Amino acid sequence: MNKILFPFLLLSLFTGIEANAQKANSVAVNQLVIVANHSGPIISKDIYGHFSEHLGACIYGGIWVGTDSKIPNTFGIRNDVLAALKEIKIPNLRWPGGCFADTYHWRDGIGPQSQRASIVNTNWGGFTENNSFGTHEFMKLCELLGCDAYINGNVGSGTVREMSEWVEYLTSDAVSPMTILRKQNGREDPWKVKYFAIGNENWGCGGNMTADFYSGIMRQYSSFLRNYSGNHLYRIACGPYDFNYTWTESLMKDPATQGMFQGLSLHYYSVVDGWGYKGSATKFDEREWFETFRLNLEMDKILKGHSAIMDRYDPEKTKGLVVDEWGNWFRVEPGTNEGFLFQQNSLRDAITAAIHLNIFNQHADRVKVANLAQMINVLQSVILTKDDKMVLTPTYYVFRMFKVHQEAQLLNIDIRSEDYVYGDKKIPAISASASIDKEGKIHISLANLNPNKEITITCPLIGDKYNKVTGEVLTANEMTAFNSFEKPETVKPALFNGFKMNDGVLTITMPSKSVVVLELAK
């Protein structure tokens, strides 16, 4: 179908449906039109990626306990965490940072455990770590999870040679000092490394560089990141934070610079009332609930702005946006180290995850990778651990519900939503996206942002007929509800039956403050 004509056809279909509804005297305020036989780009599974930094208890205690631990483990990696991450089909994992990446020297983390140098994590809490979790342990973790490695190189305090040799150590099967060293350390065959970042936040903790200065540095480093032994690196240049369009312009405007990377990173955190306050993860009122979602929805504007710049210089969309840090950032839990960034995770965070994943799905033509910050025990994590205990957070369950979108084709939708109003501000009450998988099943993901009102939405299906509908819902009695080590199942998915199908129109009644995912089959 002609892409230019499609929006007008969709508008015509929508107008016709609305007119028919008016004739029947049953106009729906909330309506989601899905065109089942007009699919868009593939939703990259890597949009559902995660981030593990040497920060607080993300690595040590969260992932790594060592082979001598009484906690059940495989090669020192927690078995309970492995099982949980496999369940959500984690597609890629970013490591070792974050700000830590630009202070990390990879040779400190290889070789016999007893001979590795201890280092002080100057970025996060001044914690001294023994480097027992390094390159070999991370790559083993990726192998056990069946996910792709996303390694962040050190530009801020490293050298071109250091980064170049790390790539050679990881991926080359030629005879060289690096491959001999790898084999001496117990790994005969090279690994496959899909993603490699050339620095992190180099406008800030990665060196306080200007965009033009970083562009030159990035070109130099990228020139020495070779593709060895059939491995092809997807090189990711450091991109901007939130609305810094000037940075994106600087990296995209010069064809020679643009030719040195395949992806451009983007970071954005939702911080209620600014960095000086941040707000509590579990003790908040409706104003903070509303403000969190208002900030979450800014992600759509941010992506549109950066995509517009990239479209000017890369109309064929050969470069991907890599949103490798996103999520809510609240104050740490009382009594914990300020530098460890440990925060609880409530129903509010689950809806935040749904909003972001829906937005990333809708931008699947440009957004190719995204990484929630962070995976375990840090910021908006999917897992919390305490000694031998593990808790799955509400955010975890959203990733489990949404995994059906991975590698599916985005479906064209048109949504009309009532507003969720608080004070003199308003935001759409409903977030949504839809896809069709290889088996022809449609999945619709929805979030009701309003904590006070259930919402009924009509969903006409254009282009095909479906007669079997199943679903899950995630909600709770209180908007501040969370899963603790004492009560680990306060917020978890349940079967959802708040829908009916009649003459090709699906009617869905969503509870207040909820996330719903539906599957439609023929």
> Using one digit for the tens of pLDDT, what is the confidence trace for 465-510?
898 999 999 999 999 999 999 999 999 999 999 999 998 899 999 9
Model pLDDT for residues 408-436, shown as the tens digit of each residue? 999 999 999 999 999 999 999 999 999 99
Taking residues 232-256, what's their average pLDDT? 97
Above 80 in pLDDT, residue 13? no
- Residue 69's pLDDT is what? 97
From 325, 338, 407, 519, active-site residue: 325
Task: State the CB neighbour count (10 A cutoff) for residue 75.
Answer: 13
- Residue 19's pLDDT is what? 43
- Residue 464's pLDDT is what? 86
Between the CA of residue 363 and those of 111, 294, 307, 360, 433, what are the distances in Å? Answer: 42, 19, 9, 5, 10
- Phi, psi for residue 149 in degrees, rounded to 5: -85, 135
Above 50 in pLDDT, residue 454? yes
* Beta strands, E only, 76-156: 77-78, 92-95, 119-121, 127-129, 148-153
- Phi, psi for residue 234 in degrees, rounded to 5: -95, 100
Helical ranges in 36-159 per DSSP H: 79-87, 135-145
Q: Go through the domains of the chain in sequence order and give each one's CATH number.
A: 6-40+410-521 (2.60.40.1180), 45-269+367-394 (3.20.20.80)
Taking residues 362-382, what's their average pLDDT? 98
Q: Whose CA is closest to 479, among 327, 341, 331, 281?
A: 281
- Residue 250's pLDDT is what? 97
| Token pair of 468 as six digits | 């079997």
Above 50 in pLDDT, residue 212? yes
CA-CA distance, 65 to 83, in Å (whole number)? Answer: 15
Taking residues 165-193, what's their average pLDDT? 98
| pTM of the predicted structure, to 2 decimals | 0.93
Taking residues 131-156, what's their average pLDDT? 98
Above 80 in pLDDT, residue 216? yes
Taking residues 311-334, what's their average pLDDT? 97
Q: Is the CB of residue 322 less than 8 Å from the CB of residue 370?
A: yes
Taking residues 39-62, what's their average pLDDT? 96
- Decide if 338 is catalytic: no
- Residue 127's pLDDT is what? 85
Higher pLDDT, 125 or 511: 511
- Residue 290's pLDDT is what? 98
Taking residues 257-279, what's their average pLDDT? 96
The one-letter amino acid code at 233 reads L
Above 90 in pLDDT, residue 1? no
Q: In residues, how long is the chain?
A: 522
Lowest mean pLDDT of 13-17, 52-56, 246-250, 303-307, name the range: 13-17
What value does the mean pLDDT of the chain take? 94
- Residue 29's pLDDT is what? 82
- Decide if 165 is catalytic: no
From 53, 168, 201, 291, active-site residue: 201
Taking residues 1-22, what's their average pLDDT? 43
